[in-house]
Structure 1
Amino acid sequence: MNTGTAARLDRIGRDGRFVVVPMDHGITLGAVRGLKDIEATIDAVTRGGADAVLTQKGIAPRVHDNRNGAGYVVHLNASTTIGPDANDKRMTGTVEEAVRAGADAVSFHINVGSDHEPDQITQLAEVCDDADRLGMPVLAMAYARGPGVDEHDAESLGHAVRLAEELGADVVKTAYSGDAGSFEHVVESTRLPVIIAGGEPEGDRATLDAVRGAMDAGGAGVSMGRSVFQHDDPEAIARAVAGVVHEDMTAADALREAGL
């Protein structure tokens, strides 16, 4: 890892642990709750302890004045839920554009096992090469998704995170397998820091239990979107998640300390 990449990686996490709040869902879902006034949401989650926020490049002007010194990640591909295939993520930006947008890192989504896996492998490899040349960290969002693929199967998730390392990513995000025991296999499949996605919100305790389980398995944190930015109190839930990730709290203690 070159010096620039290492320096920027420190801007999106702390001591090798990460609390990232992705808010790139405006392309995927539209201007849903939490994203219309994205400025207020960014202010809230970063006050709560999020290390970084993530958006598409066009939202960058709405990010910088509201992130309270937190890091910024620009996402480089997308699809919509109303299009013909949500797994068909298409390029929406370049590493150079992310640099111009003031990003500290870039991210890229790949669906391992989907019909679009071959193109996404090629694109992620190219993104990693461009990023390395410019000293920019890459967060690979590597999911096990496709016909007949169990999105929470530890073996498939282990394959997905290893693929991200093989292609040159610096951090990898994937789904949680459901329990700490099985997630250990996922973490052990790569030397990259492994962080978990939030997925569909299922309640505060379920969210924090998943974070605690991932950390107990050797995970490095979270990249949680809707569970945080659509919460009734985004600042409080960000504080609770950060308590588990950065202060090693139990789920119950983190929720109590956050007032939830």
Structure 2
Amino acid sequence: MGVLGKEIRMNRLMNQESGKLLAVAVDQAMARGIFEELMPIDRKLSEIVEGGPDAITMHKGIADTCFRKHAGKAGLILKASTFSPWQPNYDTWVTEVDEAVRLGADAISMGCIVGGDDQPEQLRNLGIISGQASQNGLPTIAHIYPRGNQIPEDEKGDWRHVAYAVRAGAELGIDIVKTKYTGDPDSFHKVVSSTPGKVVVAGGDIGNNVEDYFQMVYDVVEAGGAGITFGRIVWNNQNPTAIVKAFKNIIHENGTVNETIELYNELINQPANL
């Protein structure tokens, strides 16, 4: 049950030419607080969609009120959990699978922190939602990070911990795992090799230099990663449309970093066609 539906939705999510994913996340408000750069959210969504991402991750309320006019232009990934500024290492379940189906989502996503005291409960939630989503023909995406309190701070970027997080997702039936980049292609290739599933990276916090992000995305693809799900570096940009198109050049069109920088510089001052 649900096998064909899941395949159809996965094919809508993943670019049919490259087989990779370029997604943008706008689910940060409950988790990290209010960002002026995400205001007003409906206009920001329009600027992002104009760039042509494969999908956008958001919570159900924003999907229901702001995503309607973009239906069919980008895939919808519905976020089913969130942490908060006061509980940064615990993702609580806030949305059921049937709500994602009702809203026409192409996938449902859930956060999970490994290496902490709450790991057993968070992994249990991930396993449950994976099974429920599969029954309903819905792909699952897990945002899994090794940042629990039992992992020393200087080890949270170690590829072995990242690989553990990624493999845990695969063991629980997750279709796509979003995690942190380990800093270099060789170590990230080990992460990708640790799982039979697809691995995409989060933007993280490597500063505001877009050239650094272009290099990171290029290295991720070269290491075998399945793409990206970026948030702040996209919606915090003066021209979200331009930076999405630039990332597309690397992920879907095999562009080099230098080619992408040239393209971005051409696009950055062009107004979005909203």
**TM-score normalised per structure 2:** 0.90
Equivalent AA in structure 2 for residue 131 of structure 1: A
Using the alignment, how far apart are the partners of 2:93 and 2:70 within structure 1? 26
Aligned to 2:6: 5
Query: RMSD of the TM alignment (CA)?
Result: 1.5
Give CA-to-partner distance per residue, 1:127-152, whole Å, 9 cap, x none: 00100100000011111111215332
Per the TM alignment, residue 206 of structure 1 is displaced from its structure 2 partner at its CA by 1.0
From 183, 190, 198, the equivalent of 1:185 is 190
2:27 pairs with one of 24, 27, 32:
24
Within the candidate set 82, 90, 93, 1:91 is matched to 93
Give the number of the structure whose alpha-carbon radius of gyration is greater: 2
C-alpha separation between the residues in 1 aligned to 2:217 and 2:68? 27
C-alpha displacement of 1:17: 0.4
Q: Does residue 1:166 correspond to 2:167, yes or no?
A: no
Q: Distance in 2 between matches of 1:201 and 1:153?
A: 16
CA distance in 2, matches of 1:201, 1:232: 18
Match of 2:62 among 59, 63, 86: 59
Q: Look up the match of 2:235.
A: 229
1:38-187 matched pairs, under 5 angstroms:
38-60=41-63, 61-66=65-70, 69-81=73-85, 83=86, 85-147=87-149, 148=152, 150-187=155-192
Q: Distance in 1 between matches of 2:122 and 2:23?
A: 23
- Structure 1, unaligned runs of 5 or more: none
Matched to 1:95, the amino acid is V
C-alpha distance in 2 between matches for 1:92 and 1:199: 23
Q: What are the Cα deviations for residues 45-94 of structure 1, in whole angstroms up to 9, with x where unaligned?
A: 2221211001011111211213661100000111211x2x2111111101
Once the two structures are TM-superposed, the CA of residue 31 in structure 1 deviates from its matched residue by 2.9
Q: Number of aligned pairs?
A: 258
Offset, 1:102: 2.2
